[in-house]
Structure 1
Amino acid sequence: MKQVLEYLEKNDKNKTAVICENESITYEELISKSKLVGSNLINKVKINEPVIVFMDKGITTLEVFFGILYSGGCYSLVNPEFPQNRIKSILNTLEAKCVITNIENYEKAKEVFNGINIIKCEDLVSGSILESELENIRRSKLDIDPVYINFTSGSTGVPKGVVVSNRSIIDFIDVFTNLFDIKESDIIANQAPFDFDVSVKDIYSALCKGSTLLIVPKKLFSSPANLLDYLVINNATTLIWAVSALCLITTFHGLDYKVPTSVNKIIYSGEVMPLKHLKIWMDKLPNVRVINVYGPTEITCNCTYHEVDRSRTYVENIPIGKSFPNEKVFLLDEENKLVNTPNISGEICVSGTCLSLGYYNNKEVTDKVFMQNPLNNKYIEPIYKTGDLAMYDENMDLFFKGRKDFQIKYMGHRIELEEIDTEVLKLDGVKRCLTLFDEKKSKLWCFYVGEVTKEDIISFLKVNVPEYMVPTKYVKLEEFTLTKNGKIDRNVLKEMIK
């Protein structure tokens, strides 16, 4: 039975495992510190129990992640920059008994996690490694046991915690690294926060192949020149980045300043890549492999991919391509019938060991989207209905065609627009509201009826939702135009955006 910890332990002990600014750690040091953390947590964490990690990304955060796994638990990173209301909502879902933080965030943790056991990570790297006890825990674990819980937006205003197992990570990462030729010599530049599933590919690809993980500090993304300097100095070879991060560099003409010539693989996801930005990267790096990958958190990172062909003319968008090996990706129409004809849209559905274990402590929502394959009445075959629409072209490549509902992808994050509406309506003075996404200009629009100002709404949202969920455009209306069914007429609002 394989576990992700085996990735960690099979690598060259003297190899640099992680670099973060001026710090670095070898695989031997990472294993030792992780086992120390695990040893100190044995009597504090129950098997498969979630532990909140209240820290920014960094080397120490990885030591805590793996230490929690050694102790038998699973981890859920909560960003200290999140508003308190969102943090408390996550806590209510997890019902966690233990929070691990660092000295920097300890006082804030005491405010937010009142009455819960809060442990400083600095106190977990002393004492002795309890090898025998850790080994007994390993023997008791199953490959379907959870590794991490990442939270995504929820339409009711309550974030959903996606539970991902050892088996799902291993099956995906083994294929991912082999397919895209990730090697021990690679230096994988981590862009994504550790609570965002793009980082799962960075972390576990590095562990799987014994590569070096290069953590890129968040602050560098506000300074493209410094960001490029960092990539060049550290000889980064692999960028598994969100589209918005790649476009940040090209928008500010960063590649005219410096080209990270060591980069040989760009694997992007999260949004549709604008072709003009993609062209800049490919012109500056004529030998780089560029791959578009697609997939929601619920299916462990990605389920389809398309490698960009330099000899091909892409008229519109880059396709999301075909399914990864050992994953079945197919389209269903509104009557749950198979769509396999080009140019007809259907909902993307996925089956295979890539499927997560559902939403933590939320059976009702889990049962709505994780279900028996309606095309199979012979045996149990769970599938996940993504809510994303796609259609095949003549080559049977899939092209993304938007959301089935009102969930969108913005700045690399998946957002339920209704969650924003739910929060805005909590503000006194707001009678009705509706949020729309202008996909062409990549802007969130908030339409509302009430006595409040734009500034009132912005101030309120900034303490209740992450920054990427705060709209940039606001329109105050006397009243909403309604359809004959008494619903807000979205088409009228869409015309106002145009």
Structure 2
Amino acid sequence: MICNVLDYLERSAARQPEKDAVVDENKRYTYEQLRLCSARIGTALSGIIAPGEPVGVYMEKCADVLPVFFGTVYAGGFYSVFNNELPASRLTQIASVLAPRVMVTTGALKQEAAGIFSGMELLTFEELMQTEPDFDRLAQIRRGRIDTDPLYVNFTSGSTGTPKGIVVGHRSVLDFIDCFTETFGITESDVIANQAPFDFDVSVKDIYSAMCTGATLVVVPRRLFSAPVELIDFLCAHRITTMIWAVSALCLITTFHALDYKTPDTIRKILFSGEVMPLKALKNFQSHLPEVTYVNLYGPTEITCNCTYHILDKERDYSAGIPIGKAFPNEDVFLLDGEDRRITAPETVGELCVRGTALALGYYGAPEQNAVHFVPNPLNPHYPETIYRTGDLARYDANGELVFSGRKDFQIKYMGHRIELEEIEREMAAIDGVERCCCIFDEKKSRLKGFYIGSVEKDALHAEMKEKLPAFMVPGILRRVEDMPLTKNGKIDRKKLAELVGGKTN
């Protein structure tokens, strides 16, 4: 029985030791090299941390991060990435929640880290790599660990202003990745292009799908996401087969028409998540890469990456939206109404809830938040069972597939009407000359505001929206922007959009 993600690494290293495990612009690790370097770091950390203790990771996103992750696990701990692109104030907030005693960084970043993480022991990657591996010691530590121990903590924004640390255990990742790789046919022949930051759970799919199957993980340099032509050249040069990307990253390629420059024809699978995929962007990919399998993934970090999926049918009309589909194996995804009754009828909107092994362990040091979201299953009065309430709204369509219907907090009341902002965005995105769009609600001024990238003039856009939507759903302010501000996780930053025109976003 596999109880630890290190089993993925060791199994692949035993099967194909000389195969590339992870590659970046400057460095590559074979599976055996990755195993040995992880053991070096694990041995060094085992003399510093206690089993079950967090280790912070403050490094540039590169191949060297993986031996730090696995080394932390070898030492019996769990890791949390402190993204060096975040403001120092945000990093100190996260540190105050997690309170790690140890932060792993690099020689190049050590001075910078010292100015942010006062009171912590700073260890460099280069120093840790000098330790000879003690496999007996690591095996002894391993025997004391179980599959529900934490593997990592990823931080997301919190409604109180304090970041929420989502604790995910080994068993949840093993359960999900086994299903994920089998469902989408990911094998040792795949070359996976990693787009997501390592503190974002999309990267969990990249890393552990590769480790599980023996595929090669290619870390795409961050700078290429502002250089679409170079990005396409990189994908072609590395003969990428699989892209598990945020919607915003894929839209970068289509907005700048990069596929017209060159088509990366080794790609076989494109899986996207994080936001609603604009149909124009999807059709652009499909026209250049018609044989690729396209998959819409849905799920918050709290359920370990994703809980539902929809494999797109090239003959199907998605003008009404792409379903989030059906649940992954061993996950029960269901809808509850306002009185906690299960919804089964089509076209009835309810809150999307999830139960199963893939649920996170909860929020780190946040009992009040846990009590709101990780709750007893109201459908099961017979024994303790936890579900996760996502705060997302969904409905079943006529085919029995789940359709995302917005956030509870994106559902607004305006001029006496209940409005889903996603519905406005879908109609806006369908208009010729709109490449990307976002709609926000300024509660203070009680106004709808729309932002878009594209060639259409504001007055023409307003006129077309009036033809498609009721007057109360047409934004009173429309603004064309050069690009959409993004959060660190690649989603549209609605707060920054609100600041462009003054006011607060819903």
Q: State whether structure 2 residue 401 is matched by structure 1 residue 397.
A: yes
For residues 475 and 168 of structure 1, do their structure 2 counterparts lie closer, same or farther at Cα, with a shift above 3 Å needed?
closer
1:128 aligned residue: 132
For residues 475 and 174 of structure 1, do their structure 2 counterparts lie closer, same or farther at Cα, with a shift above 3 Å needed?
closer
In 2, Cα distance between equivalents of 1:76 and 1:52: 5
2:256 aligned residue: 252
| 1:277 pairs with one of 278, 281, 288 | 281
CA contact (8 A) 2:152 2:168 kept: yes
Query: How far does the alpha carbon of each residue in 1:312-361 deviate from its partner, in whole angstroms, 9 at most, with x for none?
Result: 11122110001001000000011111111111100000000010000001
1:228 aligned residue: 232
CA contact (8 A) 1:102 1:122 kept: yes
In 1, Cα distance between equivalents of 2:449 and 2:193: 30
2:7 aligned residue: 6
- Relative to structure 2, which stretch is displaced further, 18-27 or 350-359? 18-27
For residues 439 and 341 of structure 1, do their structure 2 counterparts lie closer, same or farther at Cα, with a shift above 3 Å needed?
farther
Q: State whether structure 2 residue 36 is matched by structure 1 residue 35.
A: no
CA contact (8 A) 2:41 2:131 kept: no
In 1, Cα distance between equivalents of 2:326 and 2:492: 33
Q: State whether structure 2 residue 352 is matched by structure 1 residue 327.
A: no
Match of 2:109, SS? Answer: helix
Residues 140-151 of structure 1 aligned to structure 2 (within 5 Å) = 140-151=144-155
CA contact (8 A) 2:60 2:84 kept: yes
| 2:497 pairs with one of 467, 472, 481 | 472
In 1, Cα distance between equivalents of 2:451 and 2:356: 34
1:450 aligned residue: none
In 2, Cα distance between equivalents of 1:475 and 1:193: 26
Residues 38-53 of structure 1 aligned to structure 2 (within 5 Å) = 38-53=42-57
Q: State whether structure 2 residue 92 is matched by structure 1 residue 88.
A: yes
Gaps of 5+ in 2: 412-420, 426-439, 454-486
CA contact (8 A) 1:391 1:401 kept: yes
| 2:376 pairs with one of 372, 381, 385 | 372
1:78 aligned residue: 82
| 1:198 pairs with one of 176, 183, 202 | 202
Residues 352-371 of structure 1 aligned to structure 2 (within 5 Å) = 352-371=356-375
CA contact (8 A) 1:303 1:324 kept: yes
| 2:186 pairs with one of 159, 182, 189 | 182
Query: How far does the alpha carbon of each residue in 1:15-49 deviate from its partner, in whole angstroms, 9 at most, with x for none?
Result: 11011013211001000100000000112111111
In 1, Cα distance between equivalents of 2:379 and 2:38: 45
Letter in 1 for 2:9: L
Q: CA deviation at 1:178?
A: 0.3
Q: TM-score, normalised by structure 2?
A: 0.83
Percent identity, aligned pairs only, is 50
Q: State whether structure 2 residue 296 is matched by structure 1 residue 292.
A: yes
Match of 1:471, SS? Answer: helix
CA contact (8 A) 2:279 2:319 kept: no
Letter in 1 for 2:22: V
Structure with the larger RCO, 1 or 2 (CA within 8 Å, 6+ apart): 1
Letter in 2 for 1:143: D
In 1, Cα distance between equivalents of 2:500 and 2:34: 52
CA contact (8 A) 1:80 1:105 kept: no
In 1, Cα distance between equivalents of 2:446 and 2:27: 43
Query: How far does the alpha carbon of each residue in 1:279-332 deviate from its partner, in whole angstroms, 9 at most, with x for none?
Result: 111111111000000000000000000000011111221100010010000000
- Relative to structure 2, which stretch is displaced further, 317-326 or 432-441? 432-441
Q: CA deviation at 1:364?
A: 1.0
Match of 1:474, SS? Answer: helix
Q: CA deviation at 1:433?
A: 6.6
For residues 33 and 433 of structure 1, do their structure 2 counterparts lie closer, same or farther at Cα, with a shift above 3 Å needed?
farther
Letter in 2 for 1:135: A
Letter in 2 for 1:286: P
2:346 aligned residue: 342
In 2, Cα distance between equivalents of 1:395 and 1:361: 41
Q: State whether structure 2 residue 137 is matched by structure 1 residue 112.
A: no
Query: How far does the alpha carbon of each residue in 1:122-142 deviate from its partner, in whole angstroms, 9 at most, with x for none?
Result: 100113111111001110001
In 2, Cα distance between equivalents of 1:245 and 1:22: 23
- Relative to structure 2, which stretch is displaced further, 397-406 or 227-236? 397-406
In 1, Cα distance between equivalents of 2:498 and 2:79: 36
Letter in 2 for 1:120: T
Query: How far does the alpha carbon of each residue in 1:367-393 deviate from its partner, in whole angstroms, 9 at most, with x for none?
Result: 111011101111222100000000110
Gaps of 5+ in 1: 411-416, 422-431, 443-461, 481-489
| 1:170 pairs with one of 165, 170, 174 | 174
Letter in 2 for 1:202: D
In 2, Cα distance between equivalents of 1:435 and 1:34: 54
Query: How far does the alpha carbon of each residue in 1:393-426 deviate from its partner, in whole angstroms, 9 at most, with x for none?
Result: 011111111111259999xxxxxx99xx9xxxxx
For residues 237 and 476 of structure 1, do their structure 2 counterparts lie closer, same or farther at Cα, with a shift above 3 Å needed?
closer
In 1, Cα distance between equivalents of 2:41 and 2:492: 32
In 2, Cα distance between equivalents of 1:330 and 1:436: 33
In 1, Cα distance between equivalents of 2:85 and 2:248: 20
- Relative to structure 2, which stretch is displaced further, 326-335 or 374-383? 374-383
For residues 184 and 158 of structure 1, do their structure 2 counterparts lie closer, same or farther at Cα, with a shift above 3 Å needed?
same
In 2, Cα distance between equivalents of 1:105 and 1:98: 15
Letter in 1 for 2:10: E
Match of 1:123, SS? Answer: helix
CA contact (8 A) 1:168 1:353 kept: yes
Q: CA deviation at 1:467?
A: 10
Match of 2:181, SS? Answer: helix
Q: CA deviation at 1:475?
A: 7.0
Letter in 1 for 2:264: P
Residues matched between the structures, number = 442
Query: How far does the alpha carbon of each residue in 1:237-282 deviate from its partner, in whole angstroms, 9 at most, with x for none?
Result: 0000000011100110000000000000000000000111101111
In 2, Cα distance between equivalents of 1:15 and 1:181: 19
Match of 2:314, SS? Answer: coil
Q: CA deviation at 1:441?
A: 3.9
2:484 aligned residue: none
CA contact (8 A) 2:154 2:201 kept: yes
For residues 45 and 439 of structure 1, do their structure 2 counterparts lie closer, same or farther at Cα, with a shift above 3 Å needed?
farther
CA contact (8 A) 1:342 1:391 kept: yes
In 1, Cα distance between equivalents of 2:45 and 2:303: 29
Q: TM-score, normalised by structure 1?
A: 0.84
Q: State whether structure 2 residue 27 is matched by structure 1 residue 23.
A: yes
Letter in 2 for 1:70: Y
In 2, Cα distance between equivalents of 1:441 and 1:321: 28
